[in-house]
Structure 1
Amino acid sequence: MHVSHLQLHDFRSYADLDVALEPGATAFVGRNGQGKTNLVEAIDYLSRLGSHRVATDAPLVRSGADQALVRAVVVKDGRPATLEVELNPGRANRARINRSPLPRPRELLGLVRTVVFSPEDLTLVKGDPSDRRRFLDDLLVLRTPRLAGARADYDRILRQRNSLLKTAGAARRGGSSAESALSTLVVWDAHLARVGAELLGERLALVEALRPYVGKAYEAVARGASRDDAEIDYRCSFELDPATRDPAALEERILAELEVRRRDELDRGVSLVGPHRDDLLLTLGNGDLRLPVKGYASHGESWSFALALKLASYDLLRSEGDDPILILDDVFAELDTGRRQQLAELVAGAEQVLVTAAVPEDVPEALAGARFHVGDGEVRRA
């Protein structure tokens, strides 16, 4: 799988852009702030309908414009398809395949898959649990696009249930009748448990599938490490038998825990049980001596673990289908010479690798290929 053509209209800093791409390695080189990352961000947006840099679409639309357009020709098994998304902040986005409108933009998901390495990846190790949950859920959707619907449903249910908890909690404290609110809460409990069980089961299965790839990747990018040094485990918001995978059993377990935590939830006005409270536990060490990466690992170990998570994602996706498009966004400037060379050699065999760098010297020899100069609002073949 690779992108052979990219067109942008009012996306980030580009009023209009039309650039042809090739399989193999391509480097976009230019000073910081010239728009290199905007190019790869657009391709990644088509993969997951979101940015790895910002949480909303509004910053993606060029200042002064009402909407933006991202269009790319994606070649899979020798067959091209034109994918496009029209970004309309404050209104519904629109998507098309080969110029034909889609009922919902998320039907694009799975048609192009990307794995992005960027300086922001360090938040996977040093950031909040929400960063690691997002990492898992983005990977889930890349593997199984239908789960985008379950993810959206869960977020909607969670918002509705939290609003109801605030209402019911206030009614209890004010002495007024909360019977109606509590009765409605039971209905939302059932919704949260059903959809939450689906997400929880998929996450548990994903962590199990990803675990061996993480160890292998960490061994490859960390000097002197073995594949047993790096471990990942799923930390649930309540006690759960790690072997439990059956959706019905997970749903029952969530419902039971909701009942136990009912008073706490009403007092605090938030949902305290479910996948939105879980975390991905990252540890380093051997045998019984294992420590969480966050708070204990050095900067170099943290970078190596973050890279291992992304490289493991790539290897897992690759084992299940087409090569994802690899995006290395200003990563090499953050790495020492040894790690830089190791990473380049590991990914050089990908069908398409897109690299951004401030100076040509940051692009390793193993990724020599097509090169574009980015500056003054233009993208020119070097």
Structure 2
Amino acid sequence: MFLKTLHLKQFRNYQEQRVDFVAPKTILLGNNAQGKSNLLEAVELLATLRTHRIARDRDLVRDGENISLILATLQREAGISDLKLTLRRNGRRTVNLNSENLRRQMDFLGVLNAVEFSSLDLELVRGGPDGRRNWLNTLLIQLEPVYAHILQQYNKVLRQRNALLKSYQQSELKVPPKELAVWDAQLVSAGTKVIRRRDRALQRLTPIASNWHASISNSTEVLRIKYLPSIPLEENEPEQVQQAFFTKIEQRSVAELHQGTTLVGPHRDEVELTINQTAARQYGSQGQQRTLVLALKLAELQLIEEVVGEPPLLLLDDVLAELDPSRQNQLLDAIQDRFQTLITTTHLGSFDSQWLKSSQILHVKAGEIFPG
């Protein structure tokens, strides 16, 4: 797939800007805080309807404006698609595909696929489990767009169940509310779908990531990725997962009532990353952690390509500065012209002359983009 055009209106610090992409690789060059990352964020929103910055829509709309537009033209093997995402400061976003407003946002997902790799991704290793869950959720949305709806359902049930537990905790009642059983059943139903999909995705991603990691580390290190759901997962069959889920809820029921919150479910899952059987988060050096994240991102690219049948876009947000020359070369060699790549950087020193010759260079300054 190839992103042909991107048109931003009142998005972040862009008043109105159109970009025509004419090469497999586009380098966005400029000082910090000029809008380079904002452009990549717009592409990420078109791909996943999410942003790694986890911003509210009101933060995405330019100061003083009420509506922001992201428009794009995408070339895929099946033909050309026109995408439009409307963001509102005080209202619901809307999506439009080929001049048709879509009733379900889920139908917008899967048209454009992209993998974002930014300096913030180093938190995948050293940060908390919520970051790894968000990473896995974003990957799954691209592999199975229906997952966005499933996750939304689960989070809605979770909020309402938590509200019930909180109200019980703050009341004088001695007996748990009867309606809790109804929310238990809905939590298990939605949560089982989330858990099974996460497990399947990691089963497919792990061998690919391990191969990339071995290649980058010259086979001196072994990467293992293990899914640790908050319930025992011995078999990935719906009935077994649901039964284990109900059993775990029963075991934690007293603690949940006492704490006023849900303690069991995919919102408590962990993804364990180990290098040579040692937890990467606790013991991995900075170099090891960067190798690990690089392997994960290259594995994402490969898995999405295998599933959707076309190479996704790669968005590299100021990441080359975080990698040493050896890892930079590994990444740039892996990309070549296989993936359309958008790269932000403050200088061109990381690129060899061949890369620069085959790249489109754009200068970004104060929300405006100029040809290089």
TM-score range, shorter chain: over 0.9
Q: Which of 205, 230, 236 in structure 2 is aligned with 1:237?
A: 230
1:52-71 pair list within 5 angstroms: 52-71=52-71
Separation (CA, whole Å) in 2 of partners of 1:355 and 1:103: 33
Which digits, 9 at most, give the CA deviation of each residue in 1:11-31, with x for residues without a partner?
011000011113511111111
1:298-313 pair list within 5 angstroms: 298-313=285-300
How many Å apart are 1:376 and its aligned residue?
3.8
Amino acid at match of 1:280: V
Which digits, 9 at most, give the CA deviation of each residue in 1:256-301, with x for residues without a partner?
111111000000011111111110000010xxxx110001000111
1:225 is matched with which residue?
219
How many Å apart are 1:350 and its aligned residue?
2.1
2:231/2:244 contact within 8 Å kept: no
SS at match of 1:19: strand
> Alignment length, in residue pairs?
369
How many Å apart are 1:351 and its aligned residue?
3.5
2:74/2:81 contact within 8 Å kept: yes
Separation (CA, whole Å) in 2 of partners of 1:304 and 1:263: 43
Separation (CA, whole Å) in 2 of partners of 1:60 and 1:374: 18
Q: Percent identity?
A: 33
2:161/2:183 contact within 8 Å kept: yes
Separation (CA, whole Å) in 1 of partners of 2:298 and 2:121: 12
1:101 is matched with which residue?
101
Does residue 263 in structure 1 map to residue 254 in structure 2? yes
Separation (CA, whole Å) in 1 of partners of 2:354 and 2:140: 30
1:154/1:192 contact within 8 Å kept: yes
2:41 is matched with which residue?
41
Q: In the superposition, relative to structure 1, how do residues 338 and 187 fare at CA in structure 2: closer, same or farther (>3 Å)?
A: same
1:160 is matched with which residue?
160
Which digits, 9 at most, give the CA deviation of each residue in 1:299-323, with x for residues without a partner?
1111111111111111111122210
How many Å apart are 1:57 and its aligned residue?
1.9
Does residue 328 in structure 1 map to residue 300 in structure 2? no
Separation (CA, whole Å) in 1 of partners of 2:254 and 2:39: 49
1:122 is matched with which residue?
122
Separation (CA, whole Å) in 1 of partners of 2:179 and 2:78: 53
1:128-167 pair list within 5 angstroms: 128-167=128-167
Q: State the superposition RMSD in angstroms.
A: 1.5
Separation (CA, whole Å) in 1 of partners of 2:346 and 2:34: 9
Q: In the superposition, relative to structure 1, how do residues 225 and 309 fare at CA in structure 2: closer, same or farther (>3 Å)?
A: same
How many Å apart are 1:360 and its aligned residue?
1.7
Return 301-310 or 188-197, whichever deviates more. Answer: 301-310
TM-score, normalised via structure 1 length: 0.93
Which digits, 9 at most, give the CA deviation of each residue in 1:312-337, with x for residues without a partner?
11111112221010111111111111
Separation (CA, whole Å) in 2 of partners of 1:273 and 1:366: 53
2:19 is matched with which residue?
19
2:124/2:132 contact within 8 Å kept: yes
Q: In the superposition, relative to structure 1, how do residues 376 and 93 fare at CA in structure 2: closer, same or farther (>3 Å)?
A: closer
Separation (CA, whole Å) in 2 of partners of 1:51 and 1:350: 24
Structure 2 unaligned runs (5+)? none
Amino acid at match of 2:219: A
2:13/2:366 contact within 8 Å kept: no
Amino acid at match of 2:19: V
Separation (CA, whole Å) in 1 of partners of 2:104 and 2:76: 22
Separation (CA, whole Å) in 2 of partners of 1:51 and 1:250: 31
Separation (CA, whole Å) in 2 of partners of 1:14 and 1:265: 46
1:50/1:57 contact within 8 Å kept: no
1:274 is matched with which residue?
265
Q: In the superposition, relative to structure 1, how do residues 364 and 330 fare at CA in structure 2: closer, same or farther (>3 Å)?
A: farther
1:9/1:15 contact within 8 Å kept: yes
Return 71-80 or 126-135, whichever deviates more. Answer: 71-80
Separation (CA, whole Å) in 2 of partners of 1:364 and 1:238: 49
Separation (CA, whole Å) in 2 of partners of 1:366 and 1:185: 63
1:352 is matched with which residue?
340
Q: Which of 350, 365, 370 in structure 2 is aligned with 1:375?
A: 365
TM-score, normalised via structure 2 length: 0.96
SS at match of 1:363: coil
SS at match of 1:294: helix
Separation (CA, whole Å) in 1 of partners of 2:175 and 2:2: 57
How many Å apart are 1:364 and its aligned residue?
4.5
How many Å apart are 1:361 and its aligned residue?
1.6
How many Å apart are 1:205 and its aligned residue?
0.8
Q: In the superposition, relative to structure 1, how do residues 365 and 338 fare at CA in structure 2: closer, same or farther (>3 Å)?
A: farther
How many Å apart are 1:53 and its aligned residue?
1.9
SS at match of 2:45: helix
SS at match of 1:261: helix
1:196 is matched with which residue?
191
How many Å apart are 1:33 and its aligned residue?
1.3
How many Å apart are 1:61 and its aligned residue?
1.0
Amino acid at match of 2:334: L
Separation (CA, whole Å) in 2 of partners of 1:89 and 1:217: 42
SS at match of 1:92: coil
Q: In the superposition, relative to structure 1, how do residues 364 and 44 fare at CA in structure 2: closer, same or farther (>3 Å)?
A: farther
